[in-house]
Structure 1
Amino acid sequence: MKKTSIQEIKKIIDQIQDENNPFLKQLTLDSRKGVKDLLEKWHHTKKQERDQRKQYIIMETYERRLRKDGFKLIAGLDEVGRGPLAGPVVSAAVILEENSYIPGLNDSKKLTEKKREELYSEIMSKSVAVGIGILSSEEIDRVNIYEATKKSMLAAVQNLSVQPDYLLLDAMKINSIYPEISIIKGDAKSVSIAAASIVAKVTRDGIMKDYHEQYPHYGFHLHMGYGTKLHLDALNDFGPCPIHRKTFAPIKKLFE
């Protein structure tokens, strides 16, 4: 055993999935620190994988119940951008494949930007359909943010390439032509809503980064339009730009 280098052991152990693999048991007899560290890391990784799988199963509860009732094309909906002072509100509708498994899927707010982007790619490849709805700052000012959010969600559903037969929404009701359930903190309780929250967030962040190229004074690529000190200081220095929401304080005061 000791003739096997730690580098060679790492290559072997990276391919092992079963905790009862005899090679792992042999490694427990190896006194080298490097081997012990490899074993500890392997067990830690497998525990993380088990925990993620358990969490995913819990977050599939609504989808499993609905499938038992005969619903197959279940769309999760979520929105991003209700609170910012600038930019659109963006909603996503996601119908995941029935047997999909996306490790680490969670509420977009609990994930790093890098992880969101990784999951976004996986969601797009494991979805039956994805629809996006975008309502501009002008429309938000015209109808108010709550109505604009509903309209963006309805647009996301309409932009799906297949018709859903049930909707799961994060703390909203949109009264579409489809049956729906509103779930408080749904992005942490439903894989479909969590997937929608990630798609909506990544989509909106991309839009705001593009706006940064047009309006570089405001730092939209950093705060995505939210009312940070950087953003408020820029508003004081330069005033609002065309994508600012004129009905939102403190921008509203600039027009009084």
Structure 2
Amino acid sequence: MNHGLVAGVDEAGRGPLAGPVAVGAVILDPARPIAGLGDSKALSQARREHLAPLIQAQALAWHVEWVWPAEIDRLNILHATLAGMSRALRALSPGPAHALIDGNRLPRDLPCPAQALVKGDAREPAIMAASILAKVARDHFMRELEHRHPGYGFALHKGYPTPEHFQALRELGPCEQHRRSFAPVRALLAPTLLD
């Protein structure tokens, strides 16, 4: 059994029509446990915002990797996310001896042995911490994106496919942060067949 450093990995933002996926990777310090960790989706925004700096201050290593819409469109959402997970693990210093990755798929080119954990963000503290960092970082980015691309409502829906987002897409068309490979965006870009 390997008693080396264990990293948790999770992402935020696979489902939205716009913006990047954020992938968090965290090696927690067993000597400095962080109270109140949980699945980022189950925590309030205020709780996530409170925990993120604690994780950054007390973890042995952490990194948030960005997977941008162009890469998502080139590789597809699954393969782009897996590539981001591999990069996030490689960016950790010190590097992990083992990784626990939320979900049921493992990237091919990992820098260490790994295990996929379904619902890992509700079971494993290192994955919970990675989930929180990814969600907080992505939410911050989407609020900033609202200033660069006003009118889409990114600060509210964070790029997810809500009725308000669909309405803005119909009125404004896609911006450069929209994922062209996602069907609702692609449909708006398709040339009309009525000509």
Give the TM-score, by structure 1 length. 0.72
Report the counterpart of residue 155 of structure 1 in structure 2.
87
* 1:254 maps onto 2:170 in alignment: no
Superposition pairs for residues 32-51 of structure 1, below 5 Å?
A: none
Deviation at 1:99, TM superposition (A): 2.2
2:146 matches 1:224: no
Which structure would you say has the larger RCO, counting Cα contacts within 8 Å and 6 or more residues apart?
2
Q: How far is 1:144 from its partner?
A: 0.3
- Gapped runs of 5+ residues in structure 2? 191-195
The aligned residue for residue 66 of structure 1 is: none
Higher helix residue share: 1
Amino acid at match of 1:109: K
Q: Which amino acid aligns with 1:241?
A: C
Alpha-carbon shift at residue 159 of structure 1 (Å): 1.4
Structure 2 length-normalised TM: 0.93
Q: Is the 8 A contact 1:131 1:161 kept in 2?
A: no
Asked if structure 2 preserves the Cα contact closer than 8 Å seen for 1:94 and 1:131, the reply is: yes
Instruction: Look up the match of 2:193.
Output: none
Deviation string, structure 1 residues 178-202 (Cα, Å, up to 9, x no partner): 1111111000010000000000000
Alignment of 1:233-244 (within 5 A): 233-244=167-178
Which residue, out of 175, 179, 184, partners 1:245? 179
Greater Rg by CA: 1
Residue 48 (structure 2) aligned to one of 106, 116, 120: 116
Q: Paired residue for 1:82, among 7, 10, 14?
A: 14
- CA deviations on 1:163-212 (whole Å, 9 max, x unpaired) are 11000000131131311111110000100000000000001111111111
Q: Secondary structure at the match of 1:250?
A: helix
Identity of aligned residues (%): 44
Deviation (angstroms), 1:138: 1.0
Are 1:134 and 1:155, in contact at CA under 8 Å, matched by a contact in 2?
A: no
**Cα distance in 2 between the residues matched to 1:210 and 1:249:** 25
AA aligned to 1:173 is: L
Matched, 1:174 2:107: yes
The answer to whether the 8 Å contact 2:2/2:97 transfers is no
Q: Offset of 1:122 from its aligned partner?
A: 1.1
